[in-house]
Amino acid sequence: MTLAVGCRARPGKSRDNKTGSWRVFKPSFDHEKCSKCGMCQTLCPEGCVHEDAEGFFDPDFTYCKGCGICATECPKEAIAMNQEEK
């Protein structure tokens, strides 16, 4: 993409801003410990946690900001936050 003069934007332009770039800590989901309760999906403020065909959950790292709410709320402590190397 090229820059628009004056940061002038038509509708839908926010799709260019991928919030995944904000992330410092990256969640990793341990499916062995997961009870498939879905709290991570319910509470994710970015709405980026998805359920797969087997009922497990994983985030979309394009948008995951690494806020860590999923890891804090997971009743099974199945989500670990690790500092991400960039």
Partner 1 sequence: MMEITEGSHAVAEAVRLCRPQVVSAYPITPQTHIVEALADFVANGKLDAEYITVENELSALSACVGASAAGSRTYSATTSQGLLLMTEVVFNAAGMRLPIVMSIANRAVGAPLSIWNDMQDSISLRDAGWLQFYAEDNQEATDLHFLAYKVAESKEIQLPVFVCFDGFILSHTYEPIDMLLQEQVDQYLPKFDPAEKLDAKDPISFGMYATPEYYLEFRYEMDQAQKRAKDVIAKAGKEFGTMFGRDYSALTVGYLLDDAETVIVAMGSVCGTVKDAIDEMRAAGKKVGLLKIRVFRPFPSEEIAKALSKVKRVAVLDKNISLGAKGGATAIEVRDAMYGSMIPVKGYVLGLGGRDIRKKDIKEIVSLCENGIGDQFYGLRKELI
Distance CA 56, CA 45 (A): 19
Task: Decide whether 21 or 62 has the Cβ nearer to partner 1.
Answer: 21
Q: Which residues contact 14 (CB under 8 A, 6 or more apart)?
A: none
Q: Is 81 exposed, middle or buried (0-12, 13-18, 19+ CB in 10 A)?
A: middle
Residue from 8, 15, 47, 75 in contact with partner 1 (CB under 8 A): 8
* Interaction between residue 86 and partner 1 (CB under 8 A): no
The contact pattern for partner 1, residues 21-40, with x = CB under 8 A and - = no contact, is xx------------------
* 3-state secondary structure (DSSP) of residue 10: coil
The CB-of-22 to partner 1 minimum distance in angstroms stands at: 8
Residues that bind partner 1 (CB under 8 A): 3, 5-11, 13-14, 17, 21-22
